[in-house]
Structure 1
Amino acid sequence: MSNDFAAALAKLIFQGTAIAGIASNATAAPKDRLYMALHTGNPGAAGKQSVSELAYPEYARVEVMRTAGGWSIVGNVVRPVAPVEFPGMVTNVGGGNVTHFTVGELAAGAGMVYMRGTVTPNLNVGWGDTPRLLNSTTLTLVTDDDGV
């Protein structure tokens, strides 16, 4: 895809901005939020939000509004506007090494992954930790040829 279309697609998904003549956000009840999840492994291209998802009793996905106030888009790079803080681990059960994150459709369950990325550096989440992704966390829509 071209750089311009990648930027337009990112704005459609993350900010609800229509792509003239191609796609509209004008449905009866368009989604107004997206959900970020943490993963201890790569959920993969065929994966759902629940694949390799971090688990501890207090953990929950974090809602980010599907607006320009929730997401910054420059070219084909998407970032949350503010840091995304997940519930802290209060009980000493579960946790793990977070290597990936996803943005998807559901607050819980095996929802569709809209985009995924790596967490660098990885987050080792254990008792007493509050995992957070900074607003420097990026998702990039691929626009290069890859030899395809």
Structure 2
Amino acid sequence: MTTSPEKPNRPGLQSGRIKEFTLYFHVKPGHGKLIRDVFRQPGFDERRGALSKLIGTLHDMRWVLFDDDTRLMFSTNFDGDWDLYIDDFAAQAPDIFDTILEHTEDYPGLQDPNIKDYIVAHQVTACSYFCAIPDATVSDLRKALRVQDAFQQLLDAAT
């Protein structure tokens, strides 16, 4: 009989089907402005916005420079499996993350074979986590909005 290897325990709390994910990094000395410049690049908002279509489990994400630009936080909420979420980012958005995180200490790159170990080492589990609609995945929410839109169109056509 063959047994499958046990899945590694991953950090982060879960509320229903939604998981929290927060990473903290040390910024290379003097690189805070360079990180801020990445967010101001033409087309950055469009590339970042495209992630929601490329990574269908992404609810939101935010980057925060703090401690006089010496620390960087990346925080997000997502549906499903931690490992698949990281795989999706590595496949769909390595340029976005590498462009930002190259300004942090010891970042190996999203394509590094040990990237998941690096991420786990920088991930901090929340003390508490609340999600207002914990059982609604991104897919569920998009479907509900399409149904709502179709229903509104029917109501508008009936008047």
TM-score, normalised on structure 1? 0.31
TM-score by length of 2: 0.29
Larger Rg: 2
Q: Which has the higher strand share?
A: 1
